Amino acid sequence: MPLPASGMNYTGSVNTVTLGGGRRKTTVTVGGAKTVPYGGPRAACGHRPAIAIDVLDAPPEGWPAPLAEAYAGVLGDPAAWARKAVEEFGADLVCVKFDGVHPDKGNLGADHAVDVTRRVLDAVGVPLVLWGCDNAEKDNAVMPKISEAAKGEKVLLGTVTQDNYKNLTALALADGHFLIAEAPLDINIAKQVNILVSDMGFPLERLVMYQTTGALGYGMEYAYSIQERERLAALGSDKLMAAPLICDVGTEAWGAKEARATSEQAPQWGDAARRGPAWEAVTAVTLLQSGVDILRMRHPTAVATVRRYLDRLWGTKA
């Protein structure tokens, strides 16, 4: 009697997404896993996760010193900031986050957003993630211009939600971009957003899912378990849940008081210059275990730590 095979045979896989086109000098391919994260044969693990470094369209307010110091001199210049992220810190992708157009954070207009988009596209050769301000009304006004300015570059546009998806989906379809489908830590809504977007004729193969992200100590386990379940759904051939995943580690980790508090405010927690990056790096590597494919990150030390971790895990250099 033969020994029964003990391995799990999954029938499905995570979609493979390749970002970057047009004038991009590199492309980034993520997804493709046919097994649980780091749980099966090497050949089934798909593509190595990618790191996107955040570049803000306008100088950030209230960034803790370790973060602000890492980008000293470029915080008001998105193009220089993007170059630094790629050339010095080795970003696979640049994520331009348009906080400055938010009505409460500067209320800058579409002209500004287009200008930033063009300058960053000119400054770096890596693929871009272009992420709105998370105010539906303003995003609907500004994102069409951003999408058009990046036409043909196969960027990752974000985000569409259950309540606001038609505009951006139509744009991404027309301009050849990829889309981030967002759900508020809710796997059922995540599936619904994907269905809605797909109903508009947008290919599921051009979607990346964003479950919102919790940092270490701030609900990371919710994001973790949902992402874990999404991976299992993809492996079980649920085509509606097979998109790769993106996490916003930088924003969330640096929102935690454990990362933000200065050495003077919390001397018992150790040196703030090391604590913040550590908080970000631990959040990132933990979420990697749940199957995330693209990490949005901020601090160069955290980025370097996670990259070393990925190098060891994958036995390759990015």
Partner 1 sequence: MIAIGERINGMFTVVKDAIAAHDPRPIQELARQQAAAGAAYLDINIGTAAADQEGTMKWLVETVQAAVATPLCLDSQKPAVIKAGLSVCDTSRGVLLNSSPLNRKSDPDVLTKYASMAMEAGGGLIALTMDSGGVPQNVDRRVEIAAEILTKAMELGMMPEKLFIDPIILPVNVPGAQAQPGNILAAIDQIRLMSDPPPHITMGLSNLSQGTAERPLINRTFMIMAISHGCDSAILDVLDDVLVDAVATAEMLMNKQIYSDSFVKAYRSTSGAQR
Task: Give 188 or 316: the residue with its C-beta nearer to partner 1.
Answer: 188
Task: Give 126 or 193: the residue with its C-beta nearer to partner 1.
Answer: 193
Lookup result for tokens 């959040």: 283
Residue 260: burial class (beta carbons within 10 Å; 0-12, 13-18, 19+): buried
Q: How far is the CB of 195 from partner 1 (least distance, A)?
A: 5
Q: How far is the CB of 12 from partner 1 (least distance, A)?
A: 7
Task: Give 115 or 238: the residue with its C-beta nearer to partner 1.
Answer: 238
Task: Give 107 or 237: the residue with its C-beta nearer to partner 1.
Answer: 237
Task: Give 5 or 72: the residue with its C-beta nearer to partner 1.
Answer: 5
Lookup result for tokens 């799990």: 8
Q: Which of 116, 126, 117 is closest to 175 using CA atoms?
A: 117
Q: How far is the CB of 182 from partner 1 (least distance, A)?
A: 15
Q: How far is the CB of 210 from partner 1 (least distance, A)?
A: 16
Q: How far is the CB of 154 from partner 1 (least distance, A)?
A: 26
Task: Give 154 or 191: the residue with its C-beta nearer to partner 1.
Answer: 191
Task: Give 223 or 310: the residue with its C-beta nearer to partner 1.
Answer: 223
State the DSSP code for 161.
Answer: B
Is the sign of the CA dihedral 19, 50, 196, 37 positive or negative?
A: positive
Distances (CA, A) of 236 to 1, 7, 13, 31, 199: 29, 15, 8, 15, 22
**CA-CA distance, 133 to 188, in Å (whole number)?**
24
- The identity of residue 116, as a single letter, is V
Task: Give 187 or 266: the residue with its C-beta nearer to partner 1.
Answer: 187
Beta strands in the chain (DSSP E): 16-19, 28-31, 50-56, 93-97, 128-131, 156-160, 178-182, 207-210, 245-248, 294-297
Q: How far is the CB of 191 from partner 1 (least distance, A)?
A: 4
**CA-CA distance, 272 to 267, in Å (whole number)?**
9
| Beta carbons within 8 Å of 36's beta carbon, 6+ residues apart | 231, 232, 235, 291
3-state SS class at 125:
coil
Q: How far is the CB of 150 from partner 1 (least distance, A)?
A: 30
The footprint of partner 1 (CB under 8 A) covers 1-2, 4-5, 9, 11-12, 187-189, 191-192, 195-196, 229, 233, 237-241
Q: How far is the CB of 225 from partner 1 (least distance, A)?
A: 13
Residue 312: burial class (beta carbons within 10 Å; 0-12, 13-18, 19+): exposed
